Chain A
Amino acid sequence: MFQIAVYGKGGIGKSTLSANISYSLSLKNKKVMQIGCDPKHDSTRLLLGGRAQTTVLDYVRETPVLRRKLEDVIEIGSGGVLCAESGGPEPGIGCAGRGILTTFDTLKKLGADSYDTDIRVYDVLGDVVCGGFAVPLREEYADAVILVTSGEFMSMYAANNIMKGLANFDTGKPRLLGLILNSRGVENEEESVKRFADAAGVPVIAAIPRDSSFRAAEAAGKTVRELFPDSDLSVAIDSVADLIIKTSEGKQPLYDPRPLDDDQMTDLAAGRPVRPGSPEKIRDPCSGCGRRRSIKGTRIMDSCAAFGAMAAFMKLTDWTVLLHGPESCMYLMEMSRGGMSRSLYPESAGGTAAALKVCCTMMDDSASIFGGTGKLKEKLEELCEEGCGKIAVVTTCMPGIIGDHSADAIEHIRKKYPGAELALIESDGDIAGDYTDGFRMAVREITGMIDPSVRPERRYVNLVGISFFDLQSPGCMAELDRILSVFGLKINCRFLDDCPSGDIRMFCRAETDLLLSGSPSDLSIMGMISERTGRKPFPCPLPIGMKDYGKWLEAMGKFAGMEEEAAREWKNAEEKYDLYVRNNRKVFEGKKIIIIDRLKRSCVWAAELLADLGAEIVRIGCFSRCGEPGMTCPERFGGVTVENYSPKMLEDDLESLDPDLLICDLLFRTGKKCRTARIGRSGVGPGGVLRFADYVGNVLRLPATEGWKEDGE
C-alpha cells in the first residue's frame, strides 16, 4: 500500500483536492482510502454526497471499546473510496493533535490495515502546531507528501513549516512529491509560488485555477472530477493522480525540501530574490533557546509537583484531595503516600484515615482530546453532594498540556456550593517542577488558612518543616516530648504533618515556631508562614547531634526564661554522653568508617559522634545531584570530605581505604564486600544520638552481611 499525505494551511482547499484526487485514483482502478485529519471533519464529504460521516473521535468517545467496529467509522464513498474522518475537539479546548494520534491508533486496532487498498490518502490540517498533526509525516505513514498552497504569504508560510516538520522526521530518503498551487486569484500568484518552490528546491506539480465549478460541485455534494469529468480541472486532477501512481511505482522522483529560514521568507514576501539559506539552523528546533538538547541537561526529579502538592494536602485530615488527571497518577501517589502514612502512624490514630480521602477525575484519552474541565466540574459536584466541604484540586500533566481551565470549574462550584472551601494547585504534573516545588505551592495555599489574629499563648510551640519523617517513630517522638517538657512546652501545630486544618488556623496560638532543620526547604516554608503572619522562627532548628543540642538548650533557656533548667539538662546530657563514650569506646576504637550522604542530610553529627567514640572517619562522600550545593563539613573532617562523590570513587575507596564500615542511606551491592549500616531516621537530642551509636555499635559486632543474602548470590 502506498500512503500519501496532503498538507496545507486551513481553508486552502486541500480537502476538496484530496477528495478529487482520491476519486480520480479510483477511476484509474486503484483501491483508495481517504482519512481526513482535520477537526473540522469535512474531508470526505464530497465523496459521500455532501453528507458528514461519524468521526472516529466522536465514535471513540461514545462507544465502549468492546463494542467498536471498523464499519462504524469507515464509509464507502464515490468510486468505492473508503472514507474515514478523525474529527476533533471544539476550538479552544482539549488537544486536537492527540486526537490524530488516537484516530490512527483506533483505526489500526479496529483493523483498517486489513482492507485491501492500493493507496491511502491522508488529508491533514497543515498548520503544524504540535506532534499530533505531524503523525502522518512519520516514516510508517507517509511514503510521499503533497503540499497545497496558494500565492498568499501565510499559505506558503504554512507549507514551509510543513517542510520543516518533514525535515524533523528525516527518514534518510526524500518524500516530498511537490506543491499544488490552488489559486486564490492574488496578484502574481503563480510567480510567487514558483519562487517559493525554487528556493525550497521542489517542483510545482499542478496549478489549479480558481473556478466556479468547485462551488457547483460543492453544492451538489460531489467532486468536480465526478460532476465535470471533461473539464480542464479534471484533467489537472487526473495529472496529479497519475503522478501519485507513478510515484507509488517508483517511477517518479521525490524531493528533499530545503525549508526557507525567516530571512528567506521575508525576501519572498517582499518580492525580492530569495537569498541562500542555512538548512542546519532551521532543522534545529532548539536553536536560539540555548538549552542543551540532552537528558543530561534536564533536571532529573524524583517525583512531580503534582505528587508534592497532593502529599501536602493529604496531611490535612479534614480535606479531600481531588487529583485532576489519569488514574495511574492517583493510584501510585496514593499507594506511596497513603501506604507510608499508614505505616508511620498507629491504626488507633484514626485521624490519618480522613487524610486519605483522595480521588481522581480519571482523565482518559477522550478527556485529553475534548478537554477535561467538564469531568472536573462533575467530580467536584459529586464530592460536594457527598458532603465533602473542603476540597483541594491538584492538576497533573494532562490538564496542563491541553490547557484545561480548572479555575473555571472551581468558580462554578463556589457559586453552586457557597459553603465549600476549595483550593486549586495548578502543579500540572512536572510542568511546575518537582515534588518540593509542588509541596511549596500547596503550602502557600495552606498558609492562607492561618488566622493571624489569634493571640499567642504561653508554652505553646509549633513545629515547622517539609518532612516529619525523622520524628515519626515512637522513639523519636518520645525524646522530642521529653526535651520540650524540660521547658514545659506543648506542641500547638505540626506544620506540615498530619493534622486537622483547625490546627493550621490556630497556628498563631504558639509562642514560637521551631524549624525541624535549617534546610532551604524548611526555611522556605517558614518564609511563607512569615509572609502570612509576620512571625520569625526560633533561631535554632531542632537539634540533631550533641553540639547542636547544647546551642539549642542555651537559646531555648533564654527564650523561656529557664536558663537554669537548660543548664541542668545540658549537664545531664553531657554526662550521659560522656559515660556512653567511655563505656562503648572499645567497640569503635580504630574502626575505619566511610560515611556517604546521598540524600543530602547532613551527616556531620554522625561523623562527630563516631570520632568521639574513637572511630577513624576515613571518608565523608557527598553525592551531588541536580546541581544542589554539597554539604559543608567542619575542619575536623576537611581532609576526608569529598563533594560530588561518585560510585566509582566509592569503589576505589572501598579498595584503597579498606574500611570496617560503610554508613549510607541506601542499601546496595558493591563489588567489594563491606559491612554496612544505615543512617536511618535522625532523632533529636541526646536520645537520638545515642540510639544511633547503639545501632552502629551493634552492626560492628554483627556478621558482615546477613545470612539470607547469601542465598541470593
Chain B
Amino acid sequence: MRRSLPDGFSAAIMAAESVENAAVLLHGPGGCRVRHMVYSEAVYSRKNSPRIEYAEDYFYWYPRVPATYLDGYDFINGAYYKTAEALPMVDASGADLIVIINSPGAGLIGDDHGSAVNRLGLGDKTIILDESLSSMPAPECYGGMLRRIMEHLSPERKTVIKGSVNLLGLSLFDKDREDAREELQGMVESMGLTVISCPGAGASIADLRKSVLAEYNIIVCPEFCSGLREYYESLGIPSVRSPAGAPAGFDACEAWIKTISEKTGCDPSPALEIIKKERKKAYEKLRGQGYRAMRIKGLTFSAAGLSSVIRPLTLWLHGYLSMAPRAVSPDPGSDPEETELLRDFLEKQGFSGVFGKEPVPCDAVLCEGLTANRMKSAGECRIEISIGYTGFRTDNVIPRPVYGILGSRYILDELLRGAKDV
C-alpha cells in the first residue's frame, strides 16, 4: 500500500509558515485549517502561541494558519467576501507578510482574492497563490512557494558579502531541523564561511532580504529548494551542490564539505576533522558492541524518501555497514538525476528488483515516521528509522535528524539498538 505523504498544498502552507512573521490565510474550511495549524506550531513553534488574545471565535485559540472557514454554502455561492473580512484580522495580528492559499475545495470555486487585497491596500504585503497544488509533489511546491516569497520581497543585490552563504533545502518537514541546521552551519562556519540565512527553515523576512547578498548558496537537499535555487542563480548567486547528494551518512557529509571547499576555495580541514573524529568514535562504539555490531552486517532494509537523501543513505548502509537493500523507493518530486544514479547503483550491485519498490517487510525501514511506525506496529520490521517528513510530535530532545553527523549517529544508534531483536 502506498505511503501517505504531504502534498503540494500542505507544502506551500508550511513553506510560508517557515518565514518568521509571515502568516498563511487559508481560504478553506476549518477542517483544512486545524491540522495545518497544529502541524506548523508543532514543527516551528513561535513565541506568540497559543495565546489568550487568540481565544476569540476567529482564531479559535491558535494564531497559526487562520482561515476563512468555508462551508458547503460557500462552495456554491463563492466566498470572496470572507477573504475581505479575514484579511484585516490577520493583518492586525502583526503579520509582515500574508500568503493567501486556497484549500483544494476552494481552488474549484475561483474566488477572486485580488480585489479584496487591493481594496484593503494590502497588495504590498500579500501574496495570492491561486493554483491548485493538490497531490503535487511537496518539495516542488515548497521551493516554489519560497521563490514566490522572494519574488514578492524582491530584494536588491546591491553588493556581495564575500565568504557568505545561504543554506538551501532544509524545510519544516525535516525532523529535528534546528539541530541539523546548527550542525551543518557550524561545519560550514568552521571553514571560514558565514551563513546568512536558511530560507525555508525558519528564516525571517529580514534574513530573506539579506540572503541575496550571499556569495554562494550551499544546497542541502536539492528537491526542497527547486525553483528557489534558480531564483538566486538568476541574481548571479551560484549554487554549490554535492555530487554525493544530501549530507546524509558520514560519506556524503565528507563529500558535501569537500564540494563546498572546491567551489568556494575555503579550507575544508576543520570540518573534515570533525567528521573524522566522529567516524573514529563510531568505530570504537561499533567495535565495543562486538556481537551486536556483527549482527548489522547482512541485515535487510527498505528505504523510501527523496532520491538525494536515500541515495547517499543506501550507499552508506551498503558500503559502511554491509546491509542489503530490499526495497528502495524515491518519493514523488525526487531529483531525476539523483534518481537515475540511485537506480544505476542498485543495478550495478546486483539488486536489480529493488529500485522503485515501496517499503516491504525487512529488518530495518528508513522512511517517513508514519509508515516506519506503522510497519513496526504491524510486525513488518524490527527497526524503524524515521528519516522523511516529520509528524506532529516527533521532535526529540536528543537530536535525531537525518542530516549531518547527528543523522549518521542517529541511524547507527537505531540499528545497534534494534540489532539485538533481529
Q: Which of B69, B72, B336, B378 contacts A353 (CB 8 A)?
A: B378
Interchain CB contact under 8 A, A327 and B32: no
Q: Which of B6, B107, B136, B377 contacts A347 (CB 8 A)?
A: B377
Interchain CB contact under 8 A, B4 and A330: yes
Q: Given known contacts A285-B78, A298-B71, is B9 in contact with A130 (CB within 8 Å)?
A: no
Chain B residues in 8 Å Cβ range of A305? 31
Residue B61 interfacial (CB < 8 Å) = yes
CA distance A350 to B331 in the complex (A): 28
Chain A residues in 8 Å Cβ range of B38? 336
Chain B residues in 8 Å Cβ range of A97? 108-110
CA distance A331 to B75 in the complex (A): 23
Of A37-45, A267-275, A564-572, A662-670, the one with at least 4 CB within 8 A of chain B:
A662-670
User: Which residues of chain A from 106 to 147 have any CB-CB distance to chain B below 8 Å in the complex?
Assistant: 109, 130-135, 138-140
CA distance A359 to B135 in the complex (A): 13
Q: In the complex, which residue of chain A has the Cβ closest to the Cβ of B119?
A: A172
Q: In the complex, which residue of chain A has the Cβ closest to the Cβ of B89?
A: A295
Interchain CB contact under 8 A, B57 and A291: no
Interchain CB contact under 8 A, A65 and B57: no
Separation in Å of the B206 CB from the closest CB of chain A? 22
Separation in Å of the B393 CB from the closest CB of chain A? 8
User: Which residues of chain B from 110 to 140 have any CB-CB distance to chain A below 8 Å in the complex?
Assistant: 110-112, 114-115, 118, 130-132, 134-136, 140
Q: Name the residue among A327, A336, A339, A666 with the largest chain B CB count within 10 angstroms.
A: A327
Of A394-402, A507-515, A600-608, the one with at least 4 CB within 8 A of chain B:
A394-402
CA distance A109 to B80 in the complex (A): 24
Chain B residues in 8 Å Cβ range of A363? 104, 134-135
Query: Mask for B366-382, Cβ within 8 A of A = 1, else 0?
Result: 00001001101111000
Interchain CB contact under 8 A, A339 and B2: no
CA distance A304 to B376 in the complex (A): 29
Query: Mask for A65-101, Cβ within 8 A of B = 1, else 0?
Result: 1100000000000000000000000000001011011
Q: Which of A98, A170, A332 contacts B115 (CB 8 A)?
A: A170
Residue B92 interfacial (CB < 8 Å) = no
Interchain CB contact under 8 A, A359 and B6: no
Query: Mask for A334-369, Cβ within 8 A of B = 1, else 0?
Result: 111011001000010010111011111011110110
Residue A712 interfacial (CB < 8 Å) = yes
Q: Given known contacts A353-B378, A647-B52, is B57 in contact with A296 (CB within 8 Å)?
A: yes
Separation in Å of the B378 CB from the closest CB of chain A? 4
Interchain CB contact under 8 A, A139 and B115: yes
Separation in Å of the B1 CB from the closest CB of chain A? 6
CA distance A353 to B381 in the complex (A): 13
Residue A430 interfacial (CB < 8 Å) = yes
Chain B residues in 8 Å Cβ range of A295? 58, 68-69, 82, 85-86
CA distance A171 to B116 in the complex (A): 10
CA distance A612 to B81 in the complex (A): 52
Query: Mask for B75-111, Cβ within 8 A of A = 1, else 0?
Result: 1011011100110000000000000000111011111
CA distance A362 to B110 in the complex (A): 21
Interchain CB contact under 8 A, B107 and A368: yes
Separation in Å of the A322 CB from the closest CB of chain B? 11
CA distance A138 to B34 in the complex (A): 30
Q: Given known contacts A294-B85, A396-B105, A429-B31, is B36 in contact with A332 (CB within 8 Å)?
A: yes
Residue A105 interfacial (CB < 8 Å) = yes
Residue B392 interfacial (CB < 8 Å) = yes
Q: Name the residue among A168, A386, A670 with the largest chain B CB count within 10 angstroms.
A: A168
Residue A257 interfacial (CB < 8 Å) = no
Residue A559 interfacial (CB < 8 Å) = no
User: Which residues of chain B from 344 to 382 have any CB-CB distance to chain A below 8 Å in the complex?
Assistant: 370, 373-374, 376-379
Q: Given known contacts A105-B130, A303-B31, A712-B47, is B6 in contact with A331 (CB within 8 Å)?
A: yes
Interchain CB contact under 8 A, B391 and A102: no
Separation in Å of the A376 CB from the closest CB of chain B? 14
Separation in Å of the B310 CB from the closest CB of chain A? 19
Interchain CB contact under 8 A, A326 and B110: no
Q: Given known contacts A101-B132, A401-B105, is B370 in contact with A335 (CB within 8 Å)?
A: yes
Interchain CB contact under 8 A, B29 and A131: no
Residue B214 interfacial (CB < 8 Å) = no
Residue A651 interfacial (CB < 8 Å) = yes
Q: In the complex, which residue of chain A has the Cβ closest to the Cβ of B104?
A: A326
Interchain CB contact under 8 A, A668 and B61: yes
Q: Given known contacts A98-B110, A285-B78, A331-B6, is B71 in contact with A398 (CB within 8 Å)?
A: no
Q: Given known contacts A326-B9, A368-B108, is B81 in contact with A293 (CB within 8 Å)?
A: yes
CA distance A494 to B6 in the complex (A): 32
Of A49-57, A192-200, A431-439, the one with at least 4 CB within 8 A of chain B:
A431-439
Interchain CB contact under 8 A, A401 and B75: yes
Interchain CB contact under 8 A, B105 and A398: yes
Interchain CB contact under 8 A, A286 and B77: yes
Interchain CB contact under 8 A, B32 and A304: yes
Interface size class of B (residues with CB under 8 A): 35 or more
Q: Which of B5, B31, B378 contacts A302 (CB 8 A)?
A: B31
CA distance A470 to B374 in the complex (A): 24
Interchain CB contact under 8 A, A668 and B50: yes
Q: In the complex, which residue of chain A has the Cβ closest to the Cβ of B68?
A: A295
Separation in Å of the B100 CB from the closest CB of chain A? 14
Q: Which of A285, A364, A651 contacts B77 (CB 8 A)?
A: A285
User: Which residues of chain B from 127 to 156 have any CB-CB distance to chain A below 8 Å in the complex?
Assistant: 130-132, 134-136, 140
Residue B23 interfacial (CB < 8 Å) = no
Q: Given known contacts A102-B131, A286-B77, A429-B105, is B31 in contact with A139 (CB within 8 Å)?
A: no
Interchain CB contact under 8 A, B36 and A102: no
Q: Name the residue among B60, B105, B374 with the largest chain A CB count within 10 angstroms.
A: B105
Residue A671 interfacial (CB < 8 Å) = yes
Q: Given known contacts A293-B81, A335-B35, is B29 in contact with A342 (CB within 8 Å)?
A: no
Chain B residues in 8 Å Cβ range of A633? none
Chain B residues in 8 Å Cβ range of A357? 1
Q: In the complex, which residue of chain B has the Cβ closest to the Cβ of A133?
A: B110
Interchain CB contact under 8 A, B51 and A668: yes
Interchain CB contact under 8 A, A65 and B9: no
Chain A residues in 8 Å Cβ range of B50? 666-669
Query: Mask for A277-299, Cβ within 8 A of B = 1, else 0?
Result: 00000000110010101111011
Chain A residues in 8 Å Cβ range of B31? 301-307, 429-430, 434-435
CA distance A98 to B131 in the complex (A): 10
Interchain CB contact under 8 A, A331 and B82: no
Interchain CB contact under 8 A, B134 and A302: no
Q: Given known contacts A285-B77, A359-B2, is B107 in contact with A65 (CB within 8 Å)?
A: no
CA distance A95 to B379 in the complex (A): 43
Q: Which of A134, A304, A331, A668 contacts B52 (CB 8 A)?
A: A668
Chain A residues in 8 Å Cβ range of B36? 332
Separation in Å of the A132 CB from the closest CB of chain B? 4
Chain A residues in 8 Å Cβ range of B107? 98, 101, 365, 368
Residue A702 interfacial (CB < 8 Å) = no
Residue A532 interfacial (CB < 8 Å) = no
Query: Mask for A158-182, Cβ within 8 A of B = 1, else 0?
Result: 0000000000111100000000000
Interchain CB contact under 8 A, A131 and B69: no
Residue B39 interfacial (CB < 8 Å) = yes
Separation in Å of the A657 CB from the closest CB of chain B? 16
CA distance A100 to B69 in the complex (A): 24
Chain B residues in 8 Å Cβ range of A132? 108-110
CA distance A328 to B85 in the complex (A): 26
CA distance A266 to B41 in the complex (A): 56
Q: Which of B53, B61, B103, B373 contacts A342 (CB 8 A)?
A: B373
Interchain CB contact under 8 A, A298 and B69: yes
What are the nearest 5 A-B pairs in CB distance? A131-B110, A304-B31, A397-B105, A353-B378, A326-B134
Since A396-B104, A668-B50 are in contact, a sample of 4 more A-B pairs with Cβ atoms closer than 8 Å, ordered by chain A residue number, is: A130-B109, A139-B118, A168-B80, A295-B69
Q: List 26 A-B contacts (CB under 8 A).
A: A105-B132, A130-B110, A132-B109, A134-B110, A139-B112, A139-B115, A139-B118, A170-B115, A285-B78, A291-B73, A295-B82, A295-B85, A298-B74, A303-B35, A304-B32, A326-B104, A398-B108, A401-B105, A402-B108, A428-B72, A432-B72, A598-B61, A647-B53, A667-B50, A668-B55, A670-B52
